[in-house]
Amino acid sequence: MTRELHHYMDGKLVKGKSGRFGDVYNPATGEVSKRVPLASADETKKAIAAAEKALPEWSATPPAKRAQVIFRFRELLLENIDELAELLSSEHGKTVPDAKGSVTRGLEVVEFACGIPHLLKGEYSEGVASGVDTFTMRQPVGVCAGITPFNFPAMVPMWMFPVALACGNTFVLKPSEKDPSCGLRLAELMIEAGLPKGCLNVVNGDKEAVDELLSNPTVAAVSFVGSTAIGQYIYETGCKHGKRVQALCGAKNHMIVLPDADMDQTVDAAMGAAYGSAGERCMAISVAVTIGQETGDELVRRLAPKVQALKVGPYTDAASEMGPIVTRESLDRILGYIDEGIAAGAELVVDGRDISLQGYEDGFFLGGCLFDRVSTDMSIYTDEIFGPVLSVVRADDYEHAIQMVNEHEYGNGTAIFTRDGDAARDFASRARIGMVGVNLPIPVPVAYHSFGGWKRSLFGDHYVHGMEGVRFYTRLKTITARWPSGIRAGTQFHFKSGAEH
């Protein structure tokens, strides 16, 4: 029997009333496992209203007490990490170790948010003029919303709401309708940790719910992670309605391989970065740019057998190294790109399309694919495929390679593999990319730094988590004060006696 999910509003599960539902699949079997309600605008308004009602009391709660709630939430995450990983894997398809790893990366942001009393400290300048002092404070923006993607249904929400809540805001989360259960469970754990009802609400839905979040005047700020086309729409629509918006979007991440690179390290890094999570992540390495023909030959020669040997299977198999694609629609889109690459003349060195698993014939499985001799005019180079497909492009020299990185429309992440410190330093300085790795394939910053890209990989002025996250979820207020000086006038000061009180 297919299980029906709910929304989470004002501290409790709420049955969907729109009459519209989306299917949640088990990607390994291809079967519908759950139905998720798709909220109407009115239902979304109720979630926003619950957040608005809870805002005055929560924003007035001292930061230290808010931090205590976040810390208890951290403890509950550790206690329930197996359950969260199971929920995540059953709806997304990624392996359990991969799922646990993503929960842990979200946990790091929770730990960062526990330090909010220190992070909210302002600045103070004494005597900016005669008898005048100036100081600053950071105050919450109000009701915030988060619209999160399917590929990290636990980690990305935890990049948003723990920081927002710690700063004194309330929050409405709209998770992906493809794998919504983690978002619901996280909200339950927050309430168990002591968060007042209404401070964190989860509304499941599609464009109707999103449009209400973007247009409702009560919502002050919107965070988004997803594709560039949708991110641009969210940014433009939210800004049109006077909201603060951060939209982290698509990517095409290049890994530059110089002739002096440690090839064993480079190959291992490329395997994890290109095929981990079946390539369904915005920080996946999808293009390897080799300097010179010999470097390209060696990289492909070493990569090919490892890609062919990838153990693809369901998350329930502990030996699986790569799980299925999230939906049939996503699988078909990836297969279309592979066909386009072949038609354009790229060499498909490893073809993962013919994979078949006994007992999982209807699952959305695709083996690792490796293209060689890809050119920059091919769609497999220009577009974000979001699947286990790695393209090798051969650059004439270092300058040609950095030109490729800088001329691409996306600017999320990039990496360089070399033993030459001067080349690495030059690349880190000149690459027009938001996050750069040196001998590291996925340069995702730790939680106390901030995550975000350049160019069409980010709309808005603030990165997510770290101090950029604190700045996004707070407004800066500057106070300049002068007090009449009774001391100079000879005024006498004394404490009143108890009787005078």
Which CATH number does the domain housing residue 263 bear? Answer: 3.40.309.10
Mean pLDDT of 176-204: 98
- Other CB atoms within a 10 A radius of the CB of residue 396 amount to 11
Q: Who's near 290: CB < 8 A, 6+ residues apart?
A: 257, 296, 299, 392, 393, 394, 395
Note if 182 is an active site residue.
no
Query: Is it the case that residue 496 has pLDDT exceeding 60?
Result: no
**Res 499: pLDDT:** 46
Would 137 be classed as within a structural domain? yes
Report the CATH number that the domain containing residue 76 is assigned in CATH: 3.40.605.10
Query: Is it the case that residue 486 has pLDDT exceeding 70?
Result: no
Query: Is it the case that residue 9 has pLDDT exceeding 80?
Result: yes
Mean pLDDT of 303-315: 97
Please check whether residues 71 and 166 belong to one and the same domain.
yes
φ/ψ region of 311 (left if φ > 0, alpha if ψ in -120 to 50, else beta) reads beta
Domain edge (last residue) among 383, 411, 438: 438
Please check whether residues 218 and 298 belong to one and the same domain.
no
Would 353 be classed as within a structural domain? yes
**Res 501: pLDDT:** 43
φ/ψ region of 93 (left if φ > 0, alpha if ψ in -120 to 50, else beta) reads left
Mean pLDDT of 247-260: 97
Please check whether residues 300 and 388 belong to one and the same domain.
yes
**Res 304: pLDDT:** 98
pLDDT in tens, 275-297: 999 999 999 999 999 999 999 99
- SS3 state of residue 110: helix
Provide the whole-model pTM: 0.93
State how many domains the chain has: 2
**Res 492: pLDDT:** 53
Average pLDDT, the chain: 95
Would 501 be classed as within a structural domain? no
**Res 488: pLDDT:** 58
Please check whether residues 288 and 236 belong to one and the same domain.
no
**Res 444: pLDDT:** 87
Q: Look at 500 and 153; give whichever has higher pLDDT.
A: 153
Would 444 be classed as within a structural domain? no
**Res 500: pLDDT:** 47
Please check whether residues 399 and 469 belong to one and the same domain.
no
Alpha helix locations (H) across 384-420?
Answer: 398-407
Mean pLDDT of 353-362: 91
**Res 490: pLDDT:** 53
CA–CA gap between residue 230 and residue 497 (Å, rounded): 66
Would 486 be classed as within a structural domain? no
Q: What is the DSSP string of 164-226?
A: HHHTT-EEEEE--TTS-HHHHHHHHHHHHTTPPTTSEEE---SHHHHHHHHH-TTEEEEEEES
Please check whether residues 353 and 272 belong to one and the same domain.
yes
Please check whether residues 46 and 141 belong to one and the same domain.
yes
pLDDT in tens, 79-125: 999 999 999 999 999 999 999 999 999 999 999 999 999 999 999 99
Mean pLDDT of 318-339: 96
Measured CA to CA in angstroms, residue 248 lies from 153, 161, 337 at distances of 15, 15, 23
**Res 494: pLDDT:** 55
Query: Is it the case that residue 356 has pLDDT exceeding 90?
Result: no
Domain edge (last residue) among 382, 411, 438: 438
Query: Is it the case that residue 148 has pLDDT exceeding 80?
Result: yes
pLDDT in tens, 58-87: 999 999 999 999 999 999 999 999 999 999
pLDDT in tens, 234-245: 999 999 999 999
The domain in which residue 318 lies consists of 253-438
CA–CA gap between residue 280 and residue 151 (Å, rounded): 6
Mean pLDDT of 145-167: 97
> 114, 199, 282, 369: which one is catalytic?
282
Highest average pLDDT, of 127-136, 169-178, 455-464, comes from 169-178
Please check whether residues 217 and 301 belong to one and the same domain.
no
Strand residue runs (E) in 377-412: 389-395, 410-411
Would 296 be classed as within a structural domain? yes
Please check whether residues 191 and 316 belong to one and the same domain.
no
Please check whether residues 321 and 350 belong to one and the same domain.
yes
**For residue 111, what is the enclosing H or E element?**
helix 96-113
Could you give phi then psi for residue 109, rounded to 5 degrees?
-70, -35
Would 31 be classed as within a structural domain? yes
Query: Is it the case that residue 487 has pLDDT exceeding 70?
Result: no
pLDDT band of residue 260 (cuts 50, 70, 90) is very high
Please check whether residues 83 and 208 belong to one and the same domain.
yes
- Structure tokens that stand for 311 in this block: 């153990």
Please check whether residues 339 and 359 belong to one and the same domain.
yes
CA–CA gap between residue 380 and residue 477 (Å, rounded): 47
Would 121 be classed as within a structural domain? yes
Q: Who's near 23: CB < 8 A, 6+ residues apart?
A: 32, 34, 35, 36
